[in-house]
Amino acid sequence: MAESLSPAQLSNMRSFEHEWAALRECVSSYCDRERLLKLFSAVDWPHLLQLAEEHGVIGQLAAFLNDRNAPAAPSEFKETLLERQRTQNFQTLRLTAELLRLLELFRAQGIPALVIKGPVLAAQAYNDPSMRGYGDLDLLVRQRDIRRATEFMIASGYQAAVSFSAIDARKIPGQYLFSKPDSDLLVELHNDLTLRYFPHPLPIEDFFARQIRVRLDAHEIPAPCMEDELVLICIHGAKHFWERLSWIADVAGLVLRQTSIDWERAGSSARAVQAEHLLHTGLRLAVGVLHARLPGAVSFRVRNDAVAAKLAARALHWLPAAGYAPPGLFERAAFRLRMRGNFLAAPAYLLKLSLSPTEEDWQPGGEISNNAFLDALRRLFRVVRKYGRSGKR
């Protein structure tokens, strides 16, 4: 086996341009077979495998190459890929079982919850919960239920990253994180207050009112409707600067397989949180990177969104490196400003993201600060220090 790509090589696209092009074709639902055959002749197979892992698309690559009509790949590579896929499948099966257990307990406690991303998105975007890798479980829970949910999670054997004193002091983290000792089980609870990257607060009651049931292992799982999920994952991708191919693949997968998407409702859901540009950015990347196909009217709106075009162009600049060539501090700020779109509202949005403390800021030594001004300053200095450095985050 050849040596792995080093972080320095991963930050330079020229080190793996053939593998990146081949990976995109394999993950795309509209693969150009003749182009892929040419790319395969120059591919470094271990580097392709490493790139697939970094971008979180091991499942999609394995599914493509296991198809009888796929171009041939070396047997050693396919065996290694299959082993990585098995490892991912064990993890997703374990997380799915835990999700079903927790949802049952949540129902017994009278705590409504919606499942976002994770196994539900895998079922919707790929018709196969094992196709998409994920390392935690994400649930949408109303803020008024957070304290009870925390008590319940602790009673279920989890450790809470956010203390009761912080909850009682109305401190809002980036997410309410729970981990299980002696295991790698992670659960995150979100709501309209924690999802601060939404340009306008998420209308959580509307999300609950429009919820659907997604069939998963003979169970009906509560989840946001497809249109709300599509908007949510596009905002999530923008939050992380679209640094992983898996996030774009999720958008392309929903567009391909969920043919009943109500595009007017999707547009309305995006407008409700002032995120039309972010929705269009995700759709534009799905089309440009993975050859997704949109309905005519939707395609016209996406193509004519100048803000989305600029956001997508910037994302494409660092996308191949999978986080090893992250945007610098000023690039990040410029991207955040464009995320908001509106010239007058953009500075306020950037300030909110830059100065709103999270648990990393208001728990510097485990204590709870009651000084909002110092929390905001601590947040600003931490952000500058963290993102002023280079390398993968």
375-387 confidence digits (pLDDT tens): 666 666 666 666 6
**Does any domain span residue 386?**
yes
Same-domain status, 334 and 235: no
Same-domain status, 130 and 207: yes
Q: Is residue 206 very low, low, confident or very high in pLDDT (cuts 50, 70, 90)?
A: very high
* Rounded Cα distance, 149 and 203, in Å: 20
**Residue 340 sits in which domain range?**
327-393
Give the three-class secondary structure for 54.
helix
**Does any domain span residue 273?**
yes
Number of domains composing the chain: 3
Same-domain status, 217 and 274: no
Same-domain status, 257 and 216: no
Same-domain status, 156 and 232: no
Identity (one letter) of the amino acid at 139? L
Give the three-class secondary structure for 136.
coil
Q: Please tell me the least confidently modeled range out of 138-147, 234-243, 267-276, 342-351.
A: 342-351
pTM: 0.91
Whether 157 has a pLDDT exceeding 50, the answer reads yes
**Does any domain span residue 14?**
no
Please list, residue by residue across 220-257, b when 16 or more beta carbons sit within 10 angstroms of its beta carbon and e when fewer do.
ebbbbbbbbbbbbbbbbbbbebbbbbbbbbbbbbbbbe
Q: Please tell me the least confidently modeled range out of 6-20, 47-61, 77-91.
A: 6-20
| Predicted pLDDT at 366 | 45
On average, the pLDDT of the chain sits at 89
pLDDT in tens, 1-49: 457 888 888 888 888 999 999 999 999 988 888 899 999 999 999 999 9
Summary count for the chain: helices (H), strands (E): 20, 7
Same-domain status, 123 and 157: yes
Q: Is residue 193 very low, low, confident or very high in pLDDT (cuts 50, 70, 90)?
A: very high
**Does any domain span residue 347?**
yes
Domain end: 224, 248, 267, which one? 224
Same-domain status, 182 and 242: no
**Does any domain span residue 310?**
yes
* Rounded Cα distance, 102 and 119, in Å: 14
Whether 364 has a pLDDT exceeding 60, the answer reads no
Domain end: 196, 224, 252, which one? 224
Chain centre to alpha carbon of residue 271: 20
Angstrom distances, CA of residue 202 to CA of 198, 235, 296, 348? 7, 11, 28, 17
Same-domain status, 363 and 381: yes
Same-domain status, 258 and 240: yes
